[in-house]
Amino acid sequence: MGKINRRVMMIGGAITMPNIPSDWTWRQMATEVFWQVLQENDVKVPDVDLVTCAYNDRTIVDSSIGPQVADALGIVPKPVVVTASACAGNGVASFNAWNAIASGRCDVVVSMGFARSDNYDSMEAMNSQGNYCDYDYMLGLTHINYGAQRDDYYRRKYGATIEDAARWAYQCHWYAQRNPYAATYGKPMAVFEELAADTPEAERDRQATNRGGVASCMLFVGEEVAQKYTGKPAVFDVAYAYRPPYVGNFFNYPVDGMREYDMANFPGLMTAAKEAYGLAGITAKDINVAQVHDLTAYEGMMAIEALGVCEIGKGKDYVASNGMTLESSCPVNTYGGGVAFGHGSVGCDFQAGLIENFWQLRGECGERQVENPQVGVNSSYGTHHSLDVVGVVQKAW
């Protein structure tokens, strides 16, 4: 990793509200957040040097989507770099944006993502041949069955219980009740006893909520450009790493830093975190607020372990000791997480966490506000942790 001579600043972020109209096209979703983030920061379209864009949507049949995005946003002839990396796609798009600015090639870059849900149960599409993968990628399992096996393996290895998962989900719902962008905002608050029940219905309630269609957008600029637009920029750093895409290789993979772990751990996330922390000049002890991609509660525990918020295998203890709450030294998933904010695929799984941390640093989160945070970290993954992304924001004022 070479020396970075130019810091990248985040100056704005926007995300669509949940339950957007079912007849909205991807163009409507993308332009909605694009214009919102530009107008809120008084940035003109000609100021934008580059757009990095990710999408993960089987319903988008348009080919050559890059120039179509450029045309829809009105930035022609400026370029759009398109990324496809499943649910972590915008993390990779943000990585591209970071490099464009850190290199000095661009001054103002918009990074965005969008997804338009299928008009049928999207989980039915998550079979062993989904996401354009080989059949043996999931060893013949559906995404749902693989996730259940991974969670069960974690539970058995570290002694986590359904009650631990219920605590995680309950705290996510508590935050979501205070976040108008969350999918469960305004709905009846989850009841802990119901979340802790050993039933299929409760199991579903402990897992991610579907947001439906969603788009989100972030605005990055070079360090010397930031003051032109805002007095409250945040320093942004990002890194991502892979682990083998085939589930069978999650055990004893012959690479340093991975052979020591298995299906109950996220070594790719550990690798990405190490690089992101190095770029940012921080350690895990410096983190004041964390947002993680948690399609299940156990997955959220694995993520905070990989980020160093707590020790490996101690996620359940962190949650039980109120580590997720505002009283903690590092509250977790103050935006509601996938469990309650909702899973929007590439349109929000990375961006929603990063935008939340950006708002937290600026003190704009109301009842869910963390006290005087200086450093926020977020993570997302794609294709069941064969790709993990970590973002870091720090106060710059």
What pLDDT digit, counting tens, does each position of 6-48 carry?
999 999 999 999 888 888 888 999 999 999 999 999 999 999 9
pLDDT(135) > 90: no
Q: What is the mean pLDDT of the chain?
A: 90
Amino acid at 325: T
In this prediction, residue 132 has a pLDDT band, given cuts at 50, 70 and 90, of very low
β 50-55/80-83 pair status: parallel
Q: What is the pLDDT of residue 339?
A: 93
Among 27, 13, 214, residue whose Cα is nearest residue 110:
13
In this prediction, residue 146 has a pLDDT band, given cuts at 50, 70 and 90, of confident
Q: What is the pLDDT of residue 356?
A: 98
Q: What is the pLDDT of residue 61?
A: 67
Amino acid at 386: S
- Taking the C-alpha atoms of residue 294 and residue 350, their distance in angstroms, rounded to an integer, is 11
In this prediction, residue 348 has a pLDDT band, given cuts at 50, 70 and 90, of confident
Burial of 387 per CB tally in 10 Å (0-12, 13-18, 19+): buried
Among 100, 68, 66, 71, residue whose Cα is nearest residue 83:
66
In this prediction, residue 128 has a pLDDT band, given cuts at 50, 70 and 90, of very low
The per-residue pLDDT for range 190-214, each reduced to its tens digit, is: 999 999 999 999 988 899 888 878 8
In this prediction, residue 359 has a pLDDT band, given cuts at 50, 70 and 90, of very high
pLDDT(235) > 50: yes
pLDDT(161) > 80: yes
The per-residue pLDDT for range 268-297, each reduced to its tens digit, is: 999 999 999 999 999 999 999 999 999 999
Q: What is the pLDDT of residue 133?
A: 47
**Which stretches of the chain are DSSP H helices?**
26-40, 65-73, 89-102, 143-158, 162-176, 192-195, 200-205, 223-226, 267-280, 297-307, 315-320, 337-340, 351-361
Q: Tokens in use for 34?
A: 């694009």
Q: Quick check: helix, strand or coil at residue 390?
A: strand
High-pLDDT (> 90) share of the chain, %: 74
Strand order in the sheet with 8-15: 80-83, 50-55, 108-115, 214-222, 8-15, 234-242, 387-395, 375-382, 289-291
User: Mean per-residue pLDDT for 129-143?
Assistant: 56
Contact residues for 227 (Cβ-Cβ < 8 A; gap 6+): 233
As a dihedral over the C-alpha atoms of residue 69, residue 238, residue 365, residue 112, rounded to 10 degrees, the angle is 0
Question: ∠ CA 68-70-73 to the nearest 5 degrees?
Answer: 105
Length of the chain: 397
In this prediction, residue 58 has a pLDDT band, given cuts at 50, 70 and 90, of low
User: Mean per-residue pLDDT for 146-162?
Assistant: 94
Q: What is the pLDDT of residue 37?
A: 97
DSSP conformation letters of 252-269:
S-SSTTTTT--TT--HHH
Q: Tokens in use for 248?
A: 């069978």
135-144, 162-171, 291-300, 355-364: which range is least confident on average?
Answer: 135-144
In this prediction, residue 136 has a pLDDT band, given cuts at 50, 70 and 90, of low
pLDDT: is 237 or 208 the higher one? Answer: 237
Q: At what angle do helices 162-176 and 297-307 cross, to 10 degrees?
A: 90
